[in-house]
Every structure is written in structure tokens, then in C-alpha cells.
Chains A and B, each alone.
Chain A
Amino acid sequence: MSARPAIVHTLKPPRVEIGLADASTQLHPAMNQASSAPEPPPYVRTRAPEWLPRLLAPIIGLALFVALWAIIAKAGGRLPDPVSTWHSAVDVFSNPFYKKGPNDQGIGWNVLTSLGRVGIGFGAAALVGIPLGFMIGRFRFLSDMAAPIISILKPVSPLAWLPIGLMVFKAANPAAIYVIFVCSLWPMIVNTAVGVRHIPQDYLNVARVLNLSEWTVFRKILFPAVLPYMITGVRLSIGVAWLVIVAAEMLTGGVGIGFWVWDEWNNLNVQHIIIAIFTVGVVGLALEQSMILLAHRFSYD
């Protein structure tokens, strides 16, 4: 896909927009500085509108993707073709909130249940991880203390924690939430700590010169300065959490989009599996985009 932002119809020279696009795809908030580019003068349009190829490109991409899928499906094997999958999807989404017993519920319930688990696990991780990140960033000793633990545990696949969760909680649901908690924790701790360490000395000097109270320093300087980093941590966490929940639910069962995938595999309903894959993708995209919107709201440059 073309890496340009969706504001081309205001007729600005394209050079400026490429600069903007670079900033909007950055992970690092400190680099988000190109967004205050001066307003270029409008010029008279002489060629085809610029938004046309930008609108067409993703449509062509998706069409090619579906065509490729149709060819593979046609060539044999048990992959359902796009048309039958579409009909199946219309059917699934026409009644997303039905309940026929604990193991047979509409896709809406499955997605909401998964989102609920992510929300609880992720929320708990934020409550623990963000304050911990602040302390690790502020105090060198704590940072040195935590460094080996974080370095060893961070690369571990979150699913490796599942047996311990099952052992401790003796139930599938809290174990899945606990896995989300563990995998969301690291990005939030690390990013918050990095943010605290990167607060410009100038801001801290202002606090020192005015002799501000610790609480005021936290509210007016530390917290707002670290917020963009924190949001980056939150964004990474929520992405990982959404990746992990599908796998965790496959293993634990119950209600949830991951379990649904596994259940449909047992039913050999491949169309539903494909629908689930797209649903997971769309929900993940929505989560990611909402975090990007939030990050833009709190970038000060």
C-alpha cells in the first residue's frame, strides 16, 4: 500500500505530504515532529486528481488478493472459494448475538468475550506496569535490579505461562487473562521507563528552579512528558495481547474468538475459520488505529 496520508484532496504539493506520512508511521513519539509543517500555498490543478490512484490502489490490492484466493480454491484442495465464504459470512454476521448453550454462541459474543479478556488482562497490566515503569525510570537502583528479570522474561512466548496460570487459577478463563497480563506487562514497563529517562533536563530544571512539590512535578511535568511513550507502550501491548488471546483461547476453550476457530476446525467448517481470521484482523486494526488516534491527541510538537 502507498505510504501516504489520507488528506490529499486539499491539493497540497506532494513533497510535504510524504514528510507527514513518515512521521505518522513512526513508533517512537520523540520522532513525531514533522507534523507542524507550514501550510504551502494552493496551486492550480492541471493533472488528474491525486486522490484517484490513492483510492484505487488498495481496492486493486484487495481485488488481486481475492482473485489469487479464488484461483487457489479452484485448483483443488479443501479451501473454500471467496463467494461461498462471503455467503457464509453474511449468514454468520446476520445473527451475531445468539446463544445456544455454552459452546455455541454468535460471533459477536465470541469477539466481545475475547475483547473482555484482553481488556481485563491488559488493564491489570497497565495498573502494574505503568507505575513500575515510572519507578524503574526514575531510580537507577531499581532499574539495575529489574534489568535481568525483564531481559530474561521478555522474550518468553506468553503461551509458555499458560500451564502455570492453569495450575494457579485451576480454571481456563483466569488463566487466559493472566497470560494477557504477562504479555502486556513488558512493553508498558519498558516504554514508560524509557520515557521517564528521556524527559528533557530543561523541564526538570524548571521544576527545580521553582522548587515544585513532588506531586506537582509528577502531574505537570513527569506525567505529560512520559505520556507519548506510555501510549506507545500501550499500543504495542494491546497488539501483542490481541495476537496472544486467539492462541490462548484455542488452548483453554470456552467462549472466545480463538476457541471459535478451534471449534470450527473440529467441525471442519473452514469457511468460518476464514471469517474468524478476517474478524480478528479487523478488530486488531481497529485497536491499533484507535491507539494511533490517541497518540496523535497527545503529541505536543
Chain B
Amino acid sequence: MSERYLQIDKVRMVFETKKGPFCALEEISLDIHAGEFVSLIGHSGCGKSTLLNIVTGLLEPSDGHVFLANREITGPGPDRGVVFQNHSLLPWLTCFENVQLAVERVFGATEKKRAVKERVHRALELVQLGHAEHQYPHELSGGMKQRVGIARALSIEPKVLLLDEPFGALDALTRAHLQDELMRIVAATGSTVLMVTHDVDEAVLLSDRVVMMTNGPAATIGGILTIDLPRPRDRIALAGNKQYVESRAELLEFLYLKQMREAA
């Protein structure tokens, strides 16, 4: 089971548009192991977010299937923790209440109120926001909001963590900080992660494997790069590491030579 924990099997996605059918994804198959960190990288519009949304269950594939721990995904559900690009916290709830909404949904029926609250505390402590529990999202910085989003996703003990360009809206320094944080959290929880990104450094630093997507329409997997660097990884030490540099070069070559956008 570990070999095929999250299994994407011949997924096709065709959207009906006014100009006729538009094929966004063509025959995508990908197996992700338990505890593995996999990134999807590609130019914008290549369908990587579409693929993630299929795994999330927000979109239904036109063809093919997705299995998580041997069960087919037929819609959204709390066995997957999702972190959205723009944090998507509810502005009328405090950080605590935002996370509680998720915890209550998953553990509210089986656990006592105190246990539920304890879980919310732990999730916020994990992202080092225990002190900001009772603040509202608009009182937090962008990076802190995104950390609450991660806490919310992890608090429900999902089988897999799905990240949709989670740090795309942040400035470079905050992004680096949160990437380190994410590595620490994933190491501490042993999470299985599927992340969409367009940032080459982010992909190499965080991932065990990077899935390179070709340009749409009819995007598919152009290649998979295994990044065999030991963990914990340190961005400063890696900057001169031969394998890191080579991996980075390979991704850049794929994105900017093989998949060059004509009009971009």
C-alpha cells in the first residue's frame, strides 16, 4: 500500500466551453507513496491546479480515477487537508475558531469538547501561532494567515496534505521562512504532501520528487525528477550542493527550454 498511497490513474480533464470542448489534462498517471513530498511544477495554465483540484475532489475528472489509501475519491472530504493559495480563512472567526471549524467537523462527534479544543491548540502550536489564537485574520500578516491555513489543514489529521501554491502570494523572505517551517512540520508529522508550485527553488528544496507538467492544452507529465537530498535540508548549505544545483538546472531547462511559452 505504501507504494501507491495516493494513486492518480489515467486522469483526463475536458472542460466544456463556448468554443467547444477544451482538453486541459491528458492521461495523467502518478503514484505517490505514504510520507512522500511531491511537487507539481509547470507554467501557469498548464493544468497543475486542475489536477490538484481533482485530487481535492472539487473537480470531477472526465476520465480516469483517483484513489487515496485504496479508496476512490468521489468528492471533497476531510481525509484530505487543503491549503489554498489565498489562505481562505473566514474573516469573522478568530484563528482558533477557524481551526476549530475543521476539528469540530472531524472529531466533534467522537471526542469531548476539551479534547477538540486541545487539538486546535496543538495545531496552532505546531505552526507557532499559539500566541495569536484569539486574533482575527485581518490582524495577522500574510505569512501568519497562511500558517493558520496550514494548521487548519493539518488539524484534521488528513491522509494527505494538498497545497495549492501555498506561498505564491507571499514576499520572498516570508516565503523562505514558511518553507523551512513547512519542512519542519512535515518531518514532525510524517505527512504525505502534494504541492502545486511554479517556484523552482521551492520545488527542489521541499520535494522528494518533482513532477514536471507540459504546457496545455492537453497537458500531461513531461518528466519526473527525483531529488535524493538528505533531510533535514538547509537552504544555505544546499546552495552550493552539486546535486541541488543539478536538479535545479534540470528543472529550469525543462521549464524554459523544452516548455518555452511562445507568447509569454
Known: A220-B90, A224-B92, A300-B92. A209 touches B58 (CB 8 A): yes
Chain A 200-236 against B: per-residue CB contact (8 Å), 1 yes, 0 no? Answer: 0011011011111000100011001100000000000
Whether B78 contacts A211 by the Cβ 8 Å rule is yes
Whether A209 contacts B76 by the Cβ 8 Å rule is yes
Whether B136 contacts A209 by the Cβ 8 Å rule is no
Whether A209 contacts B80 by the Cβ 8 Å rule is yes
A300 to B89, CA, bound (A): 12
Measured between beta carbons, the chain A residues less than 8 angstroms from B57 are 208-209
Whether B91 contacts A206 by the Cβ 8 Å rule is no
Whether A212 contacts B58 by the Cβ 8 Å rule is no
B91's partner among A210, A212, A216, A300 (CB-CB below 8 A) is A300
Chain B 76-108 against A: per-residue CB contact (8 Å), 1 yes, 0 no? Answer: 111010101010101111000000011001100
Measured between beta carbons, the chain B residues less than 8 angstroms from A300 are 91-92, 136, 138
Measured between beta carbons, the chain B residues less than 8 angstroms from A36 are 138
Whether A220 contacts B58 by the Cβ 8 Å rule is no
B220 at the interface (CB under 8 A from A): no
Whether B88 contacts A206 by the Cβ 8 Å rule is yes
A211 to B57, CA, bound (A): 11
- Give the shortest distance, in Å, between A139 (CB) and chain B (any CB): 21
Segment 139-192 of B: residues with Cβ below 8 Å from A? 156
- Give the shortest distance, in Å, between A206 (CB) and chain B (any CB): 5
Whether B88 contacts A211 by the Cβ 8 Å rule is no
Q: Which of A203, A220, A225 has the most CB of B within 10 A?
A: A220
A210 to B101, CA, bound (A): 9
Give the A-B pair count, Cβ closer than 8 A.
Answer: 53
Whether B138 contacts A205 by the Cβ 8 Å rule is no
Measured between beta carbons, the chain A residues less than 8 angstroms from B56 are 209
A50 at the interface (CB under 8 A from B): no
A301 at the interface (CB under 8 A from B): yes
A211 to B74, CA, bound (A): 12
Whether A209 contacts B82 by the Cβ 8 Å rule is yes
Measured between beta carbons, the chain A residues less than 8 angstroms from B80 are 209
Chain A residue nearest to B88 in the complex (CB): A202
- Give the shortest distance, in Å, between B163 (CB) and chain A (any CB): 13
Measured between beta carbons, the chain B residues less than 8 angstroms from A205 are 58, 82, 84, 88
Chain A residue nearest to B82 in the complex (CB): A209
Whether B90 contacts A206 by the Cβ 8 Å rule is yes
Whether B90 contacts A224 by the Cβ 8 Å rule is yes
Known: A36-B138, A300-B138, A301-B138. A210 touches B88 (CB 8 A): no
B: residues with CB less than 8 A from A are 56-58, 75-78, 80, 82, 84, 86, 88, 90-93, 101-102, 105-106, 136, 138, 156
- Apart from A209-B58, A209-B82, list 20 A-B contacts with CB within 8 A: A202-B88, A203-B90, A205-B82, A205-B84, A206-B84, A206-B88, A208-B58, A209-B80, A210-B102, A210-B105, A210-B106, A210-B156, A211-B75, A211-B77, A211-B78, A211-B105, A216-B101, A216-B105, A300-B136, A300-B138
A: residues with CB less than 8 A from B are 36, 202-203, 205-206, 208-212, 216, 220-221, 224-225, 300-301
